Amino acid sequence: MQKTLVVLNPMAGHGAAMKNFPQVEQALRDAGMAFDVAHTRAALHAVQLAWDAPSQGYERIIAVGGDGIAHEVVNGLLRASNEGETIALGIVPLGTGNDFIKSIPPALSPGQTRDDWKLAIPRVTSPNTMLVDVGKISVDAPTPGVPHPQYFTNGTDVGFGALVAKAIRGIPLTGMAAYLLAVMQVLADYGLPRIKLTIDDSEVLELNTTLTAVTNGRCFGASFWLTPMADITDGELNVIIANALGRVGILRIIPLLMNGTHLNHPAVSFKKARKVVIESSEPLIMEADGEMPFQHARRMEIEILPKRLRVMV
């Protein structure tokens, strides 16, 4: 039997992960799995746990929580493997958004969810795995104490989405309710960054943008299907560019984002790429998988690492 480490973020889902963890443990044991457990004690602790895991003989890691704990574990695993193929990652979703798990094959479509942690037990106790892509972010001004570069499973963005990701940290709700409240807060006071966007070293755009996102996965913010056609095994990044929109324009496009039907909106364009550079004269507020790793960067270089992350399916 493969040696397995279960990593729990007790704060995920505003305590939902900790509350449900005894049932998760029992379900894993009932399925015949033997495992060790590690609770994260602080931000970035899971990075170190995952970084150390392969050298300690672990062949599988199960992250219990949301996209934040998965993001940290992936950052540790990619460092442990020197950006080669990782050991297997499984996810038991008990976080606020639970977005990346929606893109793991068989991928879901708008309106579908995998938020019920019980549905994850057969996946994380199965021997079946597959390799999926990972994004990599390098910046000109890393934050002290934050691992650099950063790796992401789901996506990174600048503009409105990053502001919402920042706002949601102070909201004691989960799921769609949390994200909609964060949207309302950001709408009260937001600005549009001006960026220079370079795609695959050839196409250059300069614009004021409501949101520019570079994604690997399909769903963001619990129910916003930003790139519903994304395939985490195709070796490409998805680039969504939304030109400047006012408050009314943003409110009108939100239902389209929830249905994944925004790609025909006149303010939105979509591209595929293997490398994207985002630059600005001012520090960019950016997020990666809902986390805020860099606060002072003016230049982000994003690339795809094809089929590096092994996931349990």
Q: Which domains does the chain have, with CATH numbers?
A: 4-134 (3.40.50.10330), 149-305 (2.60.200.40)
Query: What pLDDT shows up at residue 222?
Result: 85
Instruction: Give the largest Cα separation in the chain, rounded.
Output: 56
What residue type is 84 in one-letter code?
A: G
Query: What pLDDT shows up at residue 1?
Result: 75
What HEC string does the chain produce? CCCEEEEECCCHHHHHHHHHHHHHHHHHHHCCCCCEEEECCCCCHHHHHHHHCHHHCCCEEEEEECHHHHHHHHHHHHHHCCCCCCCEEEEEECCCCCCHHHHCCCCCCCCCCCCCHHHHHHHHCCCCEEEEEEEEEEECCCCCCCCCCEEECCEEEEEHHHHHHHHHHHCCCCHHHHHHHHHHHHHCCCCCCEEEEEECCCEEEEEEEEEEEEECCCCECCCECCCCCCCCCCCCEEEEEEECCCHHHHHHHHHHHHHCCHHHCCCEEEEEECEEEEECCCCCCEEECCECCCCCCCEEEEEEEEEEEEEEC
Given a cut of 50, the residues of the chain with pLDDT beneath it are none
Query: What pLDDT shows up at residue 177?
Result: 87
Query: What pLDDT shows up at residue 277?
Result: 98
Q: How many C-beta atoms lie closer than 10 Å to residue 81's C-beta?
A: 16
pLDDT tens, residue by residue, 150-177:
999 999 999 988 998 889 888 888 778 8
pLDDT tens, residue by residue, 63-74:
999 999 999 999
Query: What pLDDT shows up at residue 246?
Result: 92
Query: What pLDDT shows up at residue 190?
Result: 83
Rounded CA separation 7/69 (Å): 8
Q: Is the full-model pTM beyond 0.85? A: yes
In sign, the C-alpha dihedral spanning 95, 176, 218, 121 is positive
